[in-house]
Chain A
Amino acid sequence: MSTVVEPVRAAAAPRPRPARQGPRRGQRWRLGEALVPVIAGLAFLYLLVPVAYTVAFSFNDAGKSNLVWRGFTLDAWRNPCGAPQVCEAFAHSLQVGVASTVIATALGTLLAIALVRFRFRGRPLVNLLVFLPMSTPEVVLGAALLAQFLSLRVQLGFTTVVIAHVMFCISFVVVTVKARVASLDPALEEAAADLYATPWHAFWRVTFPLLLPGIAAAALLAFSLSFDDFIITNFNSGAFTTFPKFVYVSAARGIPPQANVISSFMFVLALLLVVAFQVVSSVRAGRRQRG
């Protein structure tokens, strides 16, 4: 008699919709089931309160120090570059962010592909080397780079900041892309080769498009790590300001509401971008389901 052998993964068939968790009998909520949403809800609240606070205080009619609520005003929003150095610091952060993201994503993606798809001696060592920057506290990373720059008598500034940022971002990019590469069926690349595609062609036509979501996520992660980084930047920037550095330094004097404006702006922008991405992919997925 013939035996049926299932392939290891169902061949690209859409996953069946799993049953929903939650109360089954009428509306009777058992304590255990209510506990998770309640804690989660409180946790989300906890997460977002300081953000709400930051956004709220961007509308504050503050004087020198934006610590006490005085009144609602749109002044800061109308004049976001009003406070000295705010926009300069912001621009610097963006420049550093873009530069480090591009470089770190490129280097990290190549590393991730090599680590997952190839078998070579020293693979565990490379894995370890990639993991080490993630497991080193920022203080140590910053101090180490500073020590090296000092001993080489390199001028601290934009370049050293970018170098530092790329260094700690690579590990995160590798981890993110690795997960995506591992979930890619290697039979696809074999099929491409079987269909006369040279390795180069196979990479660009098959591997890269399928990796793109992972690479995009890694790039997003790298940018947000770079933009928000303070400690390593502080060690390696000299007189060059970035946005977090500016905020930290002015914390003593009094942070101008413009800083809150920029922060809120970035928050809303990021939120919109990611939500839009989610909505678009949900719509596309829904359209695919309906065929």
Chain B
Amino acid sequence: MSLAVALGEGGGPPPAASRPTRTRGHRPLLLPGLAYLALFFVAPVAVLLATSLYVPVPGGDVGQYQPALHGQNYVDALAKFWPQLVRSFGFALMATLAALAIGYPMAYAIAVRARGRRLLQGLLLVLVVAPFFTSFILRTIAWKQILADDSFVVAALHWLHLLPPGGRLTATPFAVVCGLTYNFLPFMVLPIYASLERLDPRMLEAGADLYASPFTTFRTVTLPLSMPGVVGGTLLTFIPASGDYVNSSLLGNNTNTSMIGQVIDARFFKVLDYPTAAALSVVLMVAILVLVGSYVRRSGTEELL
């Protein structure tokens, strides 16, 4: 039972009889988890929604608000911060695409090329997951050093004329996207790996038998069959990336790289402007739900859920 099997993959397609069979006795199983989620997810989101409509207590201190239904908060918040919102989605999209470009070959190498060599597969999976266990903040800061003005990497890029003299990497959008890609790469690799691992190698042989070149086989057989993994991976990358602010605060600057997460954090803790922060959070959440919903439906992998 390797890590792969432990993750539920391997062992062939699920049995046809894994249709749910029982209709009684589910309540004790559901209740604890559901109660917890109701209490600590549904309720807080409701409170967030409510807070986003509050107004400042007239004549009160900073940070004091009273219940209201002031929908104007949303308009104000969006008017002020829409560049950060758009930028967040833009960065997240770029990072997701980059992670896909890097992560798919990795997953393919582990699942398909290393198939049959379980020790190697296990080792490679560990290497993908292991960076998890160092603090991601430290890793991000490591990137800051690696991309610093006086670092080897920047010097090499200057020398190769890929970077104009005086150009820098840190405190640029490029660095932020780099950081985002890096931090969420394992989230992209693992679902794609899981999908590819299930792939029956005989399908690839069938492709070759039917006169397809390796690339055509990949395009028409492997890629479509690994779609659930790709969808899962892109979701697990895009969603957290759009709300991230650690990368942008450590690797970016304050002018053209700030993301919506930073704004929300600042609004909450520095300016104590709870309604605006809550409104922005709700907007972010709704935007993501809409995007995810239409994306999942388009790619036809609802059973992902």
Contacts and interface: CB of A to CB of B under 8 A. Distances in A.
Interface stretch (B72-80, B105-113, B154-162, B169-177): B105-113
Interface string A254-286: 010001100110110111001101110110110
A214 B250 contact: no
Contacts of B136: 228, 230, 244
Per DSSP, chain A at the interface is: helix
Given A20-B115, A144-B44, A255-B141, A139 B106 contact: no
A118 to B, nearest CB: 4
Nearest to A217: B6
Interface string A178-202: 1110111111000000000001000
Contacts of B106: 39-40, 43-44
B122 interface: yes
A27 interface: no
B20 A185 contact: no
Interface residues of A, number: 118
A267 B139 CA distance: 12
B127 interface: yes
Interface of B: 1-3, 5-9, 11-18, 20-23, 25-26, 28-30, 32-34, 36-37, 40-45, 47-48, 51, 102-103, 105-106, 108-110, 112-113, 115-116, 118-119, 122-124, 126-143, 145-146, 182, 185, 194, 201-202, 204-205, 214-215, 235-236, 239-240, 242-246, 250, 260-261, 264-265, 268, 274, 277-278, 281-282, 284-285, 288-289, 292, 305
28 contacts: A8-B17, A21-B204, A33-B214, A37-B113, A48-B127, A54-B142, A118-B26, A119-B23, A120-B26, A128-B305, A131-B305, A137-B240, A140-B48, A146-B268, A147-B51, A151-B51, A167-B36, A183-B11, A186-B15, A228-B133, A255-B138, A259-B135, A270-B130, A274-B122, A274-B130, A277-B3, A278-B2, A282-B118
Interface of A: 8-10, 15, 17-22, 30, 32-33, 35-37, 39-40, 43-44, 46-51, 53-54, 57, 67, 106-108, 110-111, 113-114, 116-120, 123, 126-141, 143-148, 151, 163-164, 166-167, 170, 174, 176, 178-180, 182-187, 199, 213-214, 216-217, 224, 227-228, 230-231, 234-235, 243-244, 247-248, 251, 255, 259-260, 263-264, 266-267, 269-271, 274-275, 277-279, 281-282, 284-285
